Amino acid sequence: MSAQKKAANLDEYLKAPSLFGFGIGRIMTIVLMVLLFILPLIAWYMGNKFYLDFSSRIVCLAIAAVSLNLILGFGGMVSFGHAAFVGIGAYAVGIPSHHGYESAWLHFPLAMIAAAFFALVTGAISLRTKGVYFIMITMAFAQMAYYFFLSLEEYGGDDGMTLWSRSDFGFLNITDKLTFFLLSYALLALCIYLVFRIVNSRFGMVVRGCNSNEARMKSLGYNTYAYRLTAYVISGAMCGLAGALMANLQDFITADTMTWTRSGELMFMVILGGAGSVFGPIFGTGVFLLFEEILSAYTIYWHLPFGVLLILSVLFIKGGVNGLIQRAWKT
pLDDT at 291 over 90: no
Residue type (1 letter), 258: M
**Fold observed for domain 19-330:** ABC transporter involved in vitamin B12 uptake, BtuC (1.10.3470)
User: What integer pLDDT is reported at residue 21 of this predicted model?
Assistant: 47
Distant-in-sequence, close-in-space partners of 326: CB < 8 Å, separation ≥ 6: 21, 23, 24, 25, 319
Report the pLDDT value the prediction gives residue 307, as an integer from 0 to 100. 80
The stretch 17-26 carries a mean pLDDT of: 53
**pLDDT for the residue numbered 10:** 54
Residue 60, pLDDT above cutoff 70: yes
Instruction: Specify the pLDDT at position 54.
Output: 92
Per-residue pLDDT tens for 264-286? 999 989 988 888 888 889 988 99
pLDDT bin (cut points 50, 70, 90) of residue 22 is very low
Dihedral angle over CA of 250, 116, 189, 101, nearest 10: 50
Which of 72-76, 215-219, 306-310 is the least confident region?
306-310
Residue 62, phi then psi, degrees to nearest 5: -65, -35
**pLDDT of 20 strictly over 50:** no
Helix (H) / strand (E) element for 247: namely helix 224-250
Residue 297's CB is within 10 A of a number of other CB atoms, namely: 8
233-260 residue pLDDT tens: 999 999 999 999 999 999 899 999 999 8
Looking at residue 24, its pLDDT comes to: 59
pLDDT digits (tens, 9 = 90+) for 72-81: 999 999 999 9
| Residue 125 CA: distances (Å) to CA of 37, 149, 223 | 40, 21, 16
pLDDT of residue 148: 94
* pLDDT on residue 147: 93
DSSP-derived 3-state class of residue 252:
strand
How does pLDDT run across 141-199, given as a tens digit for each residue?
999 999 999 998 888 888 889 888 888 888 888 888 999 999 999 999 999 999 999 99
- Average pLDDT over every residue of 4-27: 53
Q: How remote is the C-alpha of 215 from its chain's centroid?
A: 28
Give the per-residue pLDDT at 26.
Answer: 64
Cβ contacts of residue 53 below 8 Å, gap of 6+? 177, 249
When pLDDT is cut at 50, 70 and 90, the band that residue 298 belongs to is confident
